[in-house]
Amino acid sequence: MNAIVSTHNLSKRYGDAYRVNEVNLEVHEGEVYGFLGPNGAGKSTTLKMLLGLVKPSSGKVVVFGKEFDKNRLSILRQTGSLIESPSYYGHLTGLENMRIMQRLHDVPDKNVCEALKIVRLENHKDKKAGLYSLGMKQRLGIAMALIAFPKLLILDEPTNGLDPAGIGEIRELIKSLPQRYGITVLLSSHLLSEIEQIATSVGIISDGKLLFQGSMEALQSKSQPRIAIKTVDNETAHVLLYRQGFHSVIEDDALIVKEMNDEQTAFANRMLVQAGIDVIRIEERRKSLERIFLELTGKEKSL
């Protein structure tokens, strides 16, 4: 698979503080890449550096295999973007806003119609953009980003301000873009559930550092099942298990053992019962993605 976007030790420093710290992003063709991180983690700054809106302090950006600094215009020609909140001219209608983008990208009329249809704004296209609801502005922003049907689409928090129905709709739209139009999507969000439902690959950033990058499955495999054993006497059980080579921790009045197969579980149960400790419950517990995310970003402490 070709890397559509790659960054090499990309950093942005403001004064002494690193907003983005040596990030090596890699987005492959045909992916929906979810860029996940808490508020203020450096997502927007990174995306802005990919578009040349912010100049990196060090490191470089390579898009479509070309270095950004030397190929700005040819890269931008094949890139659509929506950064922070949608841009629009309030005194013009939705259609007129689209026409401005049409001029700048030099694309035919049918692109304008198609893009408006995709975001279902064609019935509101003659209304002033300033009078649009937030959700409609967001749709217009996506339509403007799509106008040239670019190879790469960069969306910063695309579902911000949309109602649940709108979120679902935009989600389905984004998921369909790689197959329908061959568009690679790079989107950011601070919501794990959002990324989980859209993305095929994930990058997790916190405090400017990329903490995880890989496929969605790779992230999910981090949530290995653990066995929780609840007994009448957890302290003694803990010691007994330890003697048998099982390392357990006591968590919420249960003993948690990592990596235990079926036979080991059966053995541990028999051993405890024979030692006179009643086993109340044995269950499999999975760490939620949410938990993994919080552990990775270290944000659970502040919650």
Partner 1 sequence: MLIKSLAAEWLKMRKSYIWSILAALPAVSILIGTANYYANKSVLTNGWYSLWTQVSLFYGEFFLPVLIAICCAYLCRLEHFNKNWYQVMTAPVSRSAIFISKLAIAGIMMLIVQAFFLLLYFCAGKVLGLASPFPIETVGWMSRGLYASIAISAVQLALSIRIRSFAVPIGISICAAFIGLGMYVMKLGMFYPYSLLTIGIGALSQESLTIAENGLFLAMNSLFIVIVSAIAIRYLSKRDVVA
- Residue closer to partner 1 by CB (options 98, 228) is 98
Among the listed residues 22, 29, 54, 233, the single contact to partner 1 using CB under 8 A: 54
Residue from 17, 40, 53, 244 binding partner 1 (CB under 8 A) = 53
Select from 6, 71, 85, 265 the one that contacts partner 1 (CB under 8 A): 85
The verdict on 195 binding partner 1 (CB under 8 A) reads no
Binding part of the chain for partner 1, among 70-78, 211-219, 220-228, 266-274 by CB under 8 A, reads 70-78
> Cβ closer to partner 1: 188 or 213?
188
CA distances from 242 to 233, 246, 250, 268, 276 (A): 14, 5, 12, 11, 16
Residue closer to partner 1, measured from CB, 144 or 167: 144
Other CB atoms within a 10 A radius of the CB of residue 136 amount to 22
105 binds partner 1 (CB under 8 A): yes
- Whose CA is closest to 113, among 101, 124, 122, 103? 122
Stretches 49-57, 60-68, 185-193, 243-251: which one binds partner 1 (CB under 8 A)? Answer: 49-57
Nearer to partner 1, 139 or 226 (CB): 139
Interface residue with partner 1, options 24, 66, 89, 172 (CB under 8 A): 89
- Least distance (Å) from partner 1 to the CB of residue 230? 54
Instruction: Please identify, using beta-carbon distances, which residue of 128 and 230 lies nearer to partner 1.
Output: 128
Contact between 92 and partner 1 per CB under 8 A = yes
Cβ proximity of 257 and 224 under 8 Å = no
Residues that bind partner 1 (CB under 8 A): 48, 51-55, 73, 76-77, 79, 81, 83-92, 96, 99-101, 103-106, 144
